[in-house]
């Protein structure tokens, strides 16, 4: 079984100011060509938040190909926010959060260096209170292989809140991957337009990931 270990560093900016640092680690176990599962932990530090200073995020995910290039994907993610004094039990604006994802994906064969992929997901977000949200995510990615060691990534994502379907979130990203043996370095930039309703919030992210593949 092949395993993929990824170390992640992300920095986000709002209106030109640094807002957040994220560091994380992800391990994916490839049981076969069609089935894989993974676990991801992420620690976040907020530089401009008046209340919450830290967050811990734990995610379990799985992916299985049912038909050729077509399959199902799912995940469960738990988030907990903290202050310098401790946990966030008395912070109503930053409650614990549990998210469930389930959806389907499609991935084309690589032709002329290009590969297309798309994902449609339903997301349920539970805040351990009376507040719950439901979303529909539509994601498209384009992967271009330029030689044996370099790939380029382009993608976009539309996130629709069922409570406000007219004002979805919109994300776009691009980046590059350099492969050396069983090691990968990915550097990417993502821009996010939040809510699409005034006041609109624009956030940008710079992400660096280093991946190591091991096992047979």
Please name which of 138, 133, 101 lies closest in space to residue 120, comparing C-alpha atoms. Answer: 138
- The answer to whether 201 and 168 have CB atoms below 8 angstroms apart is no
Cβ count within 10 A of residue 75: 19
pLDDT at 90: 46
Give pLDDT, residue 36: 93
| Higher pLDDT, residue 16 or 119 | 119
**Which tokens is 169 given?**
């979130």
Whether residue 184 contacts residue 211, with contact meaning beta carbons closer than 8 Å, is answered with yes
CA 73 to mean position of chain CA atoms: 13
CATH class of the domain comprising 2-214:
mainly beta
Q: What pLDDT score was predicted for residue 157?
A: 94
pLDDT averaged over every residue in the chain: 84
Q: What is the pLDDT of residue 192?
A: 84
Dihedral sign (CA 95, 55, 135, 65):
negative
pLDDT tens sequence across 46-103: 876 666 678 889 999 999 999 888 999 999 999 888 776 655 444 555 667 889 999 9
Q: Where are the domains of the chain?
A: 2-214
% of the chain exceeding 70 in pLDDT: 83
Residue 7 pLDDT level (bands cut at 50, 70, 90): confident
Q: Is the pLDDT of residue 21 over 90?
A: no
Q: Classify strands 70-83 and 2-14 as parallel, antiparallel or unpaired.
A: unpaired
- Cβ atoms < 10 Å from Cβ of 174: 14
DSSP 181: T
Q: Which of 165, 184, 168 is nearest to 176 (CA)?
A: 184
Q: In a 3-state reduction of DSSP, which class is residue 191?
A: strand
pLDDT digits (tens, 9 = 90+) for 168-198: 888 999 999 999 888 899 999 988 887 666 6
Neighbours of 132 (CB within 10 A): 11
As a whole number, mean pLDDT of residues 195-208 equals 76
Q: What is the pTM of this model?
A: 0.83
3 half-sphere exposure, CB direction, 13 A CA radius? 6
Token pair of 108 as six digits: 């084309």
């Amino acid at each position: 079984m092949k395993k993929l270990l990824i170390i992640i560093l992300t920095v986000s900016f709002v209106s030109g100011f640094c807002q957040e640092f994220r560091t994380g680690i992800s391990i994916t176990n490839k049981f076969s060509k069609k089935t894989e599962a993974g676990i991801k932990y992420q620690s976040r530090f907020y530089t401009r938040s008046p209340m919450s200073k830290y967050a811990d995020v734990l995610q379990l995910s799985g992916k299985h190909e049912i038909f050729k290039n077509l399959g199902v994907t799912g995940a469960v993610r738990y988030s907990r926010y903290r202050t310098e004094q401790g946990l966030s039990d008395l912070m109503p604006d930053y409650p614990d959060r549990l998210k469930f994802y389930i959806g389907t994906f499609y991935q084309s064969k690589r032709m002329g260096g290009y590969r297309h992929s798309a994902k449609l997901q339903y997301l349920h977000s539970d805040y351990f209170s009376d507040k719950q949200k439901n979303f529909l995510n539509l994601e498209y990615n384009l992967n271009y292989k330029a030689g044996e060691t370099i790939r380029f990534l382009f993608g976009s994502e539309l996130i629709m809140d069922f409570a406000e379907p007219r004002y979805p979130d919109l994300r776009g990203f691009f980046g590059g991957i350099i492969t050396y043996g069983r090691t990968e370095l990915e550097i990417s930039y993502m821009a996010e337009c939040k809510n699409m309703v005034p006041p609109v919030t624009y956030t940008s992210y710079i992400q660096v990931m280093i991946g190591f593949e091991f096992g047979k």
